[in-house]
Structure 1
Amino acid sequence: MRINSYILILTFLCLTNIQSQHKIYVSTKGNDANLGTKTTPLATLIGARNSIRKLKKNKTFQEQGVIVIISDGEYSMKEPLVLLPEDSGTAEYPIIYKAEEGATPVFSGGKKITGFYENEKGLWETKISESLYYKWKFDQLYVNNKRAVLAKTPNNGFIKIDSVSQNIWKQGSSRIAEYAQQIISLKEDGFDLLSKIKSEEIKNVRFKAYHKWDYTLRHINDIDANSKKIVTSGRGMKPWNPLKNDRRLVLENFEAALDAPGEWFLKDNGTLLYRPLEGQMIGSTEVIAPALENLISIIGNEKNNKPVEYITIQGLSFKNCHYKIPSTGAEPNQAAAKLNAAIMFENAKDISIINCEISLIGQHAIWLGKGCHNSLIEHNYIHNIGGGGVYLGDFKPLKDDLHTHHITVNNNIIKSGGQEFPPAVGIWVGHSSDNNISHNDIGNFYYSGISVGWVWGYKLSLAKRNTIAYNHIHHIGWDLLSDMAGIYTLGDSEGTIVENNVIHHVHAYSYGGWGMYADEGSSGIFFKNNLVYNTKTGGFQQNYGKGNTVKNNILAFAKKYQLQCTVAEEHKSFSFTNNIILFNEGVVLKGAWDEVVADIEHNIYWNTNGNDYDFNGHTFKAWQNRGFDKHSFIINPNFKNSFKTDFRFENQKSISKINFVPFDYSKAGVIGDKEWKKKAKLSNLIIENFEYAVMNNMILDPERG
């Protein structure tokens, strides 16, 4: 009775707090000079923020929560919403910015471009006065809510590099020269277009080069069309991942390349040109150039240890955020980690982003940087993004209040990322701990789905005790970059658990394309109850690390190798037990298996295509004689229909021999109603193009480093 009475009292107090919330209204028909009532609404989020600040300064204002209710419509943002410590709520009285019931308000950081006419070349043309008089430039363009293509050559495929020479002008103290010149000789024909570039245009021309897991975006200093060379300068090439023979690139941002439907180009004189897609009409086509480089910044006071606290943003849509290409270009960096984000947090806690949509941006969607904790990113639809989805933590192992921890990233759809910066990932965890990343659907990225850790080797890492569970990760890598995985880890990660994820369709240009990849120094990670299938080079790969556990997983249908390990060390690298390995092509093991120190036992191996079992050059019996898999079996695991991705069991006769415990892999991925789950699915066109890229890549089989 006492417990029931306590619950009734608590419920009454909560309802009283909700009812006592001060309400501020925002409408497309509003004015920031208004009072912010339902009949006299404000016009912007900034107007609402300022109104809350005034309320807090008013002595007659009693402490209470504030809810900003935003009506339907499209809002053009003239500046980012910046929330500082004085904009905080409290645990009892939070500040909430949310959509009105049934409304889907959209906040755009872009400018609508109008005034187009069709010129004599069939191109749409308009003059942008801000570009002419104020030198405003933009690097992305959105047409009818789709990303248009900056004029490039070739339109399909790549130009291949023949050779690269480097002149170091300033070495500095790093292995990477501070400043150097690279002269890139190209193999392919196609310089006929480059010969049409005017000398005054060369400064605008850029190249994008794809190499291993990285990507270089640079401006060009000079072009020699006759010798097929381009000259560029910037930082020196990374010795471990340079531009070299057979790397691929495209050239972009010059008028002569504007030769395919859907391409655009902005001239120095402010003239915007667009070659329309079939069926597009000027009068019914919306063209938006992104202007703002950030849409929301929630920034606490690091110096005085005053975080921004207890703010919720709910049910809002954000789009058209610009990423400005620096004059120095974009030097290669793993996971595109040096981009900014459309929604940026620093020194913030108890912040929630719920049921929002983020799309049509040039960079990452959300970044909870240094000093963030106890926050929630849930049920958001993040798609068509230039960079990655959700990034957590910092590049450095910051401690105490600057350490980022206890972030929940749950039930989000994150798809079609890396559209401007291919190395970007769906979810990135740097030096950040105790996070829960669960029930997300991550699809159509060119690098990894989830990346955890930011230390190469055994140096100090603060990426501890992260839980990566029940995520659906698929259609990753394509044939663009290499050395990636559905789930990728780095460094000491004691207490990290990777469980109950479904990972499939992971491919790579050359080497790599794994389901789960424990890269340099990955240690203390427990991989269990994961289903991985249809990868290029294996369900699991460990480069080097220590004390990892791989248990009770289903690893199926890798094309080349089912399992890989790269470096054998003196300590125990991992244990691999109670797993099922199913395949119909390729070998079982490839790598340093003959020297690795590992517990490999109680596993099932089954080749659906015959009796060929290659354990790193050994037969199964010879492999057992080396001390591995002595209590493992070559036996049919009796899946119901693995060829149609039904990995349930007809019976448990075989799996009982290795004490395999069945798990319900159908629970992975987003949860909710049918419409939400349907939204997570990729289009048939994307899936078909992925399959074509994989097929073509396997025919060519480019074994390139």
Structure 2
Amino acid sequence: MKHLVFAIVFLSFNLNAQHKIYISPTGNDANSGTKTEPLATLIGARNAIRLLKENQSFKTLAFTVIIEDGLYVMKEPLELLPKDSGTQKHPIIYKAEEGAHPIFSGGKTISNFTETENGLWQTKIPESVYYNWKFHQLYVNNNRATLAKTPNQGFIKIDTVFQNIWKQGKSKVAERAEQIIYLDSNGAKALQNIKPNELKNVRFKAYHKWDYTLRHIDDFIADSSKIVTSGKGMKPWNPLKKDRRIILENYEAALDAPGEWFLKDNGILLYKPKDGETINNTEFIAPVLGNLITIEGNAIENKYVQYVNFEGLSFKHCHYKIPPTGSEPNQAAAILNAAILVENAKHINISNCEVSNIGQHAVWFGRGCSYSSINKTYIHNIGGGGVYLGDFKPLQNELHTHHISVENNIIKSGGQEFPAAVGVWVGHSSNNIITHNDIGNFFYTGISVGWVWGYKPSLAKRNTISYNHIHHIGWALLSDMAGIYTLGASEGTVVEKNLIHHIHSYSYGGWGMYADEGSTGIVFKNNLVYSTKTGGFQQNYGKHNVVKNNILAFAKKYQLQCTIPEKHKSFTFTNNIVIFNEGMVAKGAWDTVVAEIDKNIYWNTSSTDYNFNEHNFNEWKALGFDKHSLITKPYFKDAEAFNFNFKRKNNYKKIGFKPFNYSEAGIYGDAAWIEKSKLKTEITEAFDKAVETNMKMKIKR
């Protein structure tokens, strides 16, 4: 009967007509899909298109799925396979109806709360009682709630760590090991509150250098401030050790601050309300689905998913289930999945959409993707990172990911569950354009490009990173991070005309632009970087990078850094303006690095002190650097107020500097779109407070 309904409804359409299928919150997937008889789900629309394609007379029709306003609770992810492809002339389009803002939710509303004698709210969740359903994120009034933790502010410090290796394996990192961690006095107090029957649920989060470890606790002894945990061995280059910071979470006694929640084993959800919240005005949504959209073809067999567009849709409430093993440390939180996962596909375009309130990465164009895009999409309040491109391995030929455009997106407030995540990550992927994005409020790095440490083969070539606004990154939580971070041989990659500011690490790092291990063949030009912790530019080691015509301003400790000198030329640093009011000009391996450094301006706005790696300017020149450079005022209009336009040009012309319009960086569009990118004042003020506190601390690397 269903086949007959579709045949009758659609046979009257002309062969080459634009065919419209409607979806409504009040629809039914048994309907015909017309405006008056709409379907109910994306899957229903996909199945309708499949059905029509089976009829040869409809082969060349263009299909547009029009989605009415409202909330759509997804029971399962939308999966698109090669048979769900459109064509170049007629892509399949899933789009919001004009003026509509449909929301697709992978979550479940939790209700029927009552207030307890101690001021908590509670409700019993039947699915948790009868089916052992557990969730690891919760959204309250469209905001991420905090899982019960201690301490509420600050951290517990590690005193001592011992490791017992159970199985080494072939890697430097043991396959299986046990760590015995002794905590400071704050940890001792916290352990006293854990009940033995809660132990299986208790987790700790550890922050160490650029990494983050999430583990369950196998055992604890409160009297000796000791916790025992097991999993993989610690990385020798970045282990847990004295003074590393942790928090404990997911036990009832830690539920002591407004906005915290805890789900008991008996299915009772507890919540401590914030000021102004009432049971009647508070919405609770627990994420259920671990993925919202999967697009998967087969590149090896030349069966791609192709020519599919998503326009004007919101995707929310995607769950990241923390495995029993926790989450071992991994740079850029690269082991997470994504709410929207695309693999072995071409010409997939996401525009004017929204992804928020999720526990993992938002969008990942994985292996075998090409000629696709994401633009004007609002990605925010995410547990992981924003947009990830490519794979961890250098996959060749049809499995190589290339030519992806990431343009005019707002990517903010990420890393909320996994702080090592980044705004945009490019692994072994080439010829991508990442431009005009606003990336803010992350804990590790804004944009990361490359996935090879050293000089091994890399496929991260010819990527363009331009006109991005990257700001409020770091929060003094992790180290060894930057606004823009590069790795490995990346010949043809250009980093230009980006605006980067307010970058602050916990200990070392906190750079604007960071060419890390093996970065090669990258051009950094026409970028404005200001308000960083340890410099506008840092190179660890690499080959033949070019740093030209940048403005690097007001780093707190050093303006420039380099480490690990090599026999070949590491980089060229010319035609740049460096302005500062505290700290050293240069710090690191400058006495032995091979680099061309010349025709730059240096200006200290607060004194006549110019410390070039413990050399004065004349001694610095004697090393062969800056023969034609100047210590002179660049004549910015108001550098202290971050106005780096020029009021006079006679000095910058002497070094061949060419002014650029840094106001062009960031997103573009109407006023409402621009307004969305702005961080709330309380966030920027909290960032400044974190920076101020961090600069007063004596922190061991």
2:367 corresponds, among 341, 365, 370, to: 370
Q: Tell me whether 1:549 sits opposite 2:567 in the alignment.
A: no
Match of 2:147 in 1: 150
Alpha-carbon contact 2:479-2:505 (below 8 Å) kept: yes
Secondary structure of 2:490's match?
strand
Compute the displacement of 1:19 (Å). Answer: 8.3
Match of 2:484 in 1: 487
Match of 2:282 in 1: 285
Match of 1:466 in 2: 463
Match of 1:354 in 2: 351
1:695 corresponds, among 667, 692, 696, to: 692
Match of 2:330 in 1: 333
Kindly report which structure 2 residues correspond to 1:193-212, keeping only aligned pairs within 5 A, or say none: 193-212=190-209
Q: Tell me whether 1:189 sits opposite 2:189 in the alignment.
A: no
Match of 1:59 in 2: 56
Q: Tell me whether 1:101 sits opposite 2:91 in the alignment.
A: no
2:122 corresponds, among 122, 125, 132, to: 125
2:307 corresponds, among 299, 310, 326, to: 310
Match of 1:11 in 2: none
Q: Size of the alignment, in residue pairs?
A: 689
Distance in 2 separating the partners of 1:586 and 1:185: 36
Alpha-carbon contact 1:17-1:65 (below 8 Å) kept: no
Distance in 2 separating the partners of 1:258 and 1:448: 31
Distance in 2 separating the partners of 1:690 and 1:195: 32
Distance in 2 separating the partners of 1:675 and 1:615: 46
Distance in 2 separating the partners of 1:80 and 1:266: 25
Which residue identity lines up with residue 163 of structure 2 in the other structure?
Q
Match of 1:7 in 2: none
Match of 1:659 in 2: 656
Compute the displacement of 1:321 (Å). Answer: 0.4
Q: Percent identity?
A: 70
Match of 1:628 in 2: 625
Which residue identity lines up with residue 26 of structure 1 in the other structure?
I
Which residue identity lines up with residue 642 of structure 1 in the other structure?
A
Distance in 2 separating the partners of 1:602 and 1:667: 26
Secondary structure of 2:50's match?
helix
Match of 1:159 in 2: 156
2:45 corresponds, among 48, 53, 77, to: 48
Kindly report which structure 2 residues correspond to 1:435-454, keeping only aligned pairs within 5 A, or say none: 435-454=432-451
Distance in 2 separating the partners of 1:513 and 1:436: 25
Please say which of residues 388-397 and 52-61 is displaced more in the overlay: 52-61
Compute the displacement of 1:515 (Å). Answer: 0.2
Distance in 1 separating the partners of 2:361 and 2:548: 34
Match of 1:9 in 2: none
Return 5+ residue gaps in structure 1 as ranges: 1-15
Compute the displacement of 1:279 (Å). Answer: 1.1
Distance in 2 separating the partners of 1:169 and 1:655: 62
Distance in 2 separating the partners of 1:305 and 1:223: 54
Alpha-carbon contact 1:572-1:597 (below 8 Å) kept: yes
Alpha-carbon contact 1:605-1:634 (below 8 Å) kept: yes
Which residue identity lines up with residue 410 of structure 1 in the other structure?
E
Compute the displacement of 1:377 (Å). Answer: 0.5
Kindly report which structure 2 residues correspond to 1:589-600, keeping only aligned pairs within 5 A, or say none: 589-600=586-597
Compute the displacement of 1:235 (Å). Answer: 0.1
Distance in 2 separating the partners of 1:77 and 1:139: 19
Alpha-carbon contact 1:549-1:574 (below 8 Å) kept: yes
Give a deviation string over 1:407-442, Cα, whole Å, max 9, x none. Answer: 000000000000000000000000000000000000
Please say which of residues 67-76 and 180-189 is displaced more in the overlay: 180-189
Give a deviation string over 1:281-324, Cα, whole Å, max 9, x none. Answer: 11121100000000000000244220100000000001000000
Alpha-carbon contact 1:446-1:481 (below 8 Å) kept: yes
Q: Tell me whether 1:70 sits opposite 2:63 in the alignment.
A: no
Distance in 2 separating the partners of 1:94 and 1:187: 60
Distance in 2 separating the partners of 1:369 and 1:509: 31
Give a deviation string over 1:38-80, Cα, whole Å, max 9, x none. Answer: 0000000000000000000013324121000000000000000
Secondary structure of 1:656's match?
helix
Distance in 1 separating the partners of 2:549 and 2:14: 48
Compute the displacement of 1:678 (Å). Answer: 1.0
Secondary structure of 1:55's match?
helix
Alpha-carbon contact 2:15-2:57 (below 8 Å) kept: no
Match of 2:316 in 1: 319
Give a deviation string over 1:492-541, Cα, whole Å, max 9, x none. Answer: 00000000000000001000000000000000000000000000000000
Alpha-carbon contact 2:535-2:561 (below 8 Å) kept: yes
Which residue identity lines up with residue 633 of structure 2 in the other structure?
N
Match of 1:427 in 2: 424
Match of 2:3 in 1: none
1:236 corresponds, among 223, 230, 233, to: 233
Give a deviation string over 1:94-150, Cα, whole Å, max 9, x none. Answer: 100000000000000000001110112211111111111111100000000000000
Secondary structure of 1:200's match?
helix
Distance in 2 separating the partners of 1:246 and 1:189: 13
Match of 1:402 in 2: 399
2:292 corresponds, among 278, 295, 306, to: 295
Secondary structure of 1:654's match?
helix
1:672 corresponds, among 669, 673, 684, to: 669
Alpha-carbon contact 2:513-2:538 (below 8 Å) kept: yes
Give a deviation string over 1:1-31, Cα, whole Å, max 9, x none. Answer: xxxxxxxxxxxxxxx9998211000000100
Match of 2:498 in 1: 501
Compute the displacement of 1:194 (Å). Answer: 2.5
Give a deviation string over 1:535-588, Cα, whole Å, max 9, x none. Answer: 000000000000000000000000000000011000000000000000000000
Alpha-carbon contact 1:439-1:670 (below 8 Å) kept: yes
Distance in 2 separating the partners of 1:276 and 1:17: 58
Secondary structure of 2:198's match?
helix
Give a deviation string over 1:627-684, Cα, whole Å, max 9, x none. Answer: 1100000000000000111100011100011010000000000011111111101000
Distance in 1 separating the partners of 2:15 and 2:377: 24
Compute the displacement of 1:187 (Å). Answer: 1.1
Which residue identity lines up with residue 234 of structure 1 in the other structure?
G
Compute the displacement of 1:457 (Å). Answer: 0.1
Alpha-carbon contact 2:219-2:228 (below 8 Å) kept: yes
Match of 2:572 in 1: 575
Alpha-carbon contact 2:187-2:225 (below 8 Å) kept: no
Give a deviation string over 1:363-408, Cα, whole Å, max 9, x none. Answer: 0000000000000100000000000000000000000010000000
Alpha-carbon contact 1:518-1:542 (below 8 Å) kept: yes
Secondary structure of 1:60's match?
helix
Secondary structure of 1:691's match?
helix
Which residue identity lines up with residue 468 of structure 2 in the other structure?
N
Distance in 2 separating the partners of 1:243 and 1:138: 28
Q: Tell me whether 1:113 sits opposite 2:106 in the alignment.
A: no
Give a deviation string over 1:464-498, Cα, whole Å, max 9, x none. Answer: 00000000000000110000000000000000000
Compute the displacement of 1:195 (Å). Answer: 2.5
Distance in 1 separating the partners of 2:495 and 2:410: 19
Match of 1:224 in 2: 221
Question: CA, structure 1 residues 409+268, in 2 after alignment: closer, same or farther (shift >3 Å)?
Answer: same
Distance in 2 separating the partners of 1:60 and 1:390: 39
Return 5+ residue gaps in structure 2 as ranges: 1-12
Secondary structure of 1:283's match?
coil
Distance in 2 separating the partners of 1:544 and 1:17: 63
TM-score (norm 1): 0.97
Question: CA, structure 1 residues 193+248, in 2 after alignment: closer, same or farther (shift >3 Å)?
Answer: closer
Give a deviation string over 1:141-199, Cα, whole Å, max 9, x none. Answer: 00000000000000110000001000000000000000000000001235344323222
Compute the displacement of 1:610 (Å). Answer: 1.2
Secondary structure of 1:568's match?
coil
Distance in 2 separating the partners of 1:343 and 1:672: 25
